[in-house]
Structure 1
Amino acid sequence: MKMKNEKMYTFFQGLFKVLGIVVICCSIVLAIWLYKLGIFNDKNVLKDVIHHYKYWGPFIFIVIQIFQIVFPVIPGGITTVFGFLIFGPVNGFIYNYIGILIGSYLLFILVRIYGKRFILLFIDEKTFNRYERKLETPGYEKLFIFSMASPISPADIMVMITGLTNMSVKRFMTIMILTKPFSIIGYSYLFIFGEDILRYFHK
């Protein structure tokens, strides 16, 4: 029975890795398709998309955002940026924020329940050991807070690793609520306006 469970676990490890590659490829195709639609530079296209999915659009987006955190095979930054592009700055932020908070909570709880084995479904042992060593440092909580506020940190991995600590759920969610607005806005700003920023510094 134990051997059967190990085979199943190994199967899911491989499956999630393959899914990660497939989803990245699909994300690239989706980005190209959206570009051809003109969604990146034509506000009328954005309005048409929002109008077409007026009621279901926000719900579907939030579910996708939750899914990409709980099962981190979708690059989170891509969904975050799409939220801003499709729903606009205010609604895009709100839907991103809701999805990320719910997804992060579920991911934290899943690691609390299943421990290291759950984490190893998504990252290899070497990567896990590298992050696990950070738990032994006295300033780990400060590092975690910084990672959650930063738009370029491996947030999902840090959430999973933190699930192995004795941090309370209340403390974890307080940190998430206070820091996530910075990373959501920061990442989207860098992605959407990055070209303009680079052009400014190369004048």
Structure 2
Amino acid sequence: MKEQTKRRFKLAGVILLLIVSAVLMIKLMPWFYSLRLPEVREEFKNYVASLGWKGVLLVLGIQVLQVVIAVLPGEPVELLAGMTFGIWGGLAICIVGLLIGTIMIFYLVRLLGKGFVEGIFSKKEVGRFSFLQNTKKLEVLTFLLFFIPGTPKDVLTYVAPLTKIRPINFFLIAILARIPSVITSTYAGQTFIDGEWWKTVGMFVLMGLIGIAGILINNSILDKNNGKERPKK
């Protein structure tokens, strides 16, 4: 009876979270994508500045929300943080937001299990990381996957808690491995708002090239560890 009640609570939790996530996604998705427009970013920057310390909490809250609701894009938030608070201030806010969101996801997944994750992502997406369940290099591979650009980090953040990885190790890995990519975004944000266009464009070009290389490396790692590496000619 207790086990049945526990299952019902888990199911209710999954349904409730999915409903809340869907509502927030529908409401916020247009605004998140509108942040790509310079005039929207400038308007938001001025608004945040007018709030004082509450502006820090606002951007922090948006970052946490972006981490937890996986479909929301992260780059616009990081760019905004850089525009509003500079490279290092924006980095600090983004990292704290990443940490809070990652902790929330970790314990939510540990509580609700694999069915919850597969309710958010497809079985194919989740299955690509199934090798993490049996590898002896769990922490090393998790760090590499978070570090390499092109990895679907939203999926990885939800899948990794299904493994035997220790909470503190996962939190450190998820944060430290993502610092370089966050810095590039906050740097681009600050140079953009400062009118240093050539630096912004240069950073985006560099990020694009690194991203393409990262996707290739990421696919190679996933294919190799899933036993699908193509035979050498």
Report if the CA contact (8 A) 1:70-1:104 is conserved: yes
TM-score with structure 1 length normalisation?
A: 0.74
Question: Counterpart in 2 of 1:39?
Answer: 42
Distance 2:71 2:168 in 1: 27
1:129 to 104, 127, 144: 127
Query: Among the aligned pairs, what percent are the same residue?
Result: 23
Report if the CA contact (8 A) 2:110-2:161 is conserved: yes
Distance 1:156 1:28, change over 3 A: closer
Letter in 2 for 1:27: F
Distance 1:52 1:195, change over 3 A: same
Q: How many angstroms does 1:14 deviate by?
A: 7.7
Q: How is 1:21-32 mapped onto 2 (pairs within 5 angstroms)?
A: 23-32=28-37
Letter in 2 for 1:153: T
| Per-residue Cα deviation, 1:75-100 (whole angstroms, up to 9, x for no partner) | 12221221112221121111111111
Distance 2:35 2:171 in 1: 32
Question: Counterpart in 1 of 2:230?
Answer: none
Question: Counterpart in 2 of 1:108?
Answer: 106
1:93 to 73, 91, 94: 91
Gaps of 5+ in 2: 193-198, 207-233
Report if the CA contact (8 A) 1:12-1:121 is conserved: no
Letter in 2 for 1:101: L
| Per-residue Cα deviation, 1:19-70 (whole angstroms, up to 9, x for no partner) | 64664433222332xx125739xxxx95x44531212110011112112212
Distance 1:168 1:9 in 2: 23
CA RMSD of aligned residues (A): 3.5
Total equivalences in the alignment: 192
Question: Counterpart in 1 of 2:145?
Answer: 147
Q: How many angstroms does 1:190 deviate by?
A: 6.7
SS of the aligned residue for 1:75 comes to coil
TM-score with structure 2 length normalisation?
A: 0.66
2:51 to 47, 50, 53: 53
Q: How many angstroms does 1:17 deviate by?
A: 5.9
Q: How is 1:42-81 mapped onto 2 (pairs within 5 angstroms)?
A: 46=45, 48-81=46-79
